Amino acid sequence: MGPSRPVDDDSLPGTASGTVAPMVEWAPEVEVDADRARTLIERQFPELRDVEIREIAAGWDNVVHLVDGRWAFRFPRRAIAVPGMAREIEFLPRLLAHLPIAIPAPHWIGSPSADYPWPWFGAEYLPGVELAESGLADGGRVRLGAQLGAFLRVLHGSALSRLVGRELPIDPMRRADMGARIPYARRRLDAAIAAGLWEPTEAIERLLGQASGLPVPPRTRVLHGDLHVRHILVDDAGAATGVIDWGDVSAGDPSADLSIAYGSLVGPARAAFFEAYGPIDGLTELRARVIATFLAGALLLYAADRGLEPLRRETLRSLERVVS
């Protein structure tokens, strides 16, 4: 399970050519290693005493431990992730029965305590690897594109909007607000350029210029809110096995999630996505491409900082796909 959302703040550390300075923005405020996870789990769920526990993923906001080979327990590492954790616990059980791809189903609900001040949960472990780590070529993503298009068609549909849409915060990260998103994207890309990670292109600059001045869209559909290559799990055949990390579940414009079609799919795979999802208008497409550009820039910096070579390659390819 990958990181939670890319941080949308104004602070980026200084960089030197070819390097990225360690980024305090995703440094943990609280560490939950395997020993601490064991203590917390055994105190609240004694039936899980003396089982194997090992860390399997650590992202910007959360750390995940595999418990007894079956349960993925997720603990916030930073206070900013806590409201999202609470939303996952509340809303994922209400969404999972409706969606055609598996999502985490909170089963063990951990309460704040003197030992750890925040909520946490364990869900059935979803098999597969992150799309970013899969090495799946663009030509092998056609089936995945169709699956993701069908998934988002349901998630963004009016039925789920009526079910939970009014209870969710509206675009709290301002993903579809180009007045916020374009400056965030430029800061990430400028940092990548300064670090020697990426060369600017006229096509990206033209994309950001075309989206400047767009109004904030009024639509409020149910969103994953942070749908990118670390939050999609696939099997060896390239089929989707799970959509994870729902800390930004919210209501807002579909372009926030449709960015996946432009950052991670191209050619026949993108065509398969929209055949399953349905047509969208030009302004939605423009916003989605900008959001995909921001995500690629943010994940590129993270990949370079943490030495995640497959993710670095994937994000560089994303910056090509968004203008394809």
Q: What's the sign of the alpha-carbon dihedral 145, 147, 148, 154?
A: positive
Residue 165 pLDDT level (bands cut at 50, 70, 90): confident
* The pLDDT value given to residue 21: 46
Q: State how far the Cα of 131 lies from the Cα of 247, in Å rounded to an integer.
A: 19
Residue 265 pLDDT level (bands cut at 50, 70, 90): very high
Q: State how far the Cα of 126 lies from the Cα of 149, in Å rounded to an integer.
A: 20
Q: What percent of the chain has a predicted confidence (pLDDT) above 70?
A: 92
* The pLDDT value given to residue 304: 95
Task: Give the chain's mean pLDDT.
Answer: 92
Average pLDDT over residues 281-309: 96
Of 3-12, 155-164, 300-309, which gets the smallest average pLDDT? 3-12
Domains and CATH numbers, the chain: 24-124 (3.30.200.20), 129-321 (3.90.1200.10)
Average pLDDT over residues 127-142: 97
Position 186: which residue type? Answer: R
Q: Among residues 320, 322, 313, which one has the least CA distance to residue 260?
A: 322
Q: State how far the Cα of 179 lies from the Cα of 243, in Å rounded to an integer.
A: 28
| Confidence check: pLDDT of 15 > 60 | no
Burial 230-264 (b: 16+ CB within 10 A, else e): bbbbbeeebebbbbbbbbbbbbbbbbbbbbbbbbb
Q: Among residues 229, 231, 261, 252, which one has the least CA distance to residue 175?
A: 252
Average pLDDT over residues 155-176: 94
Q: Among residues 93, 76, 1, which one has the least CA distance to residue 40?
A: 76
Q: What's the sign of the alpha-carbon dihedral 221, 100, 82, 10?
A: negative
* The pLDDT value given to residue 28: 79
* The pLDDT value given to residue 59: 79
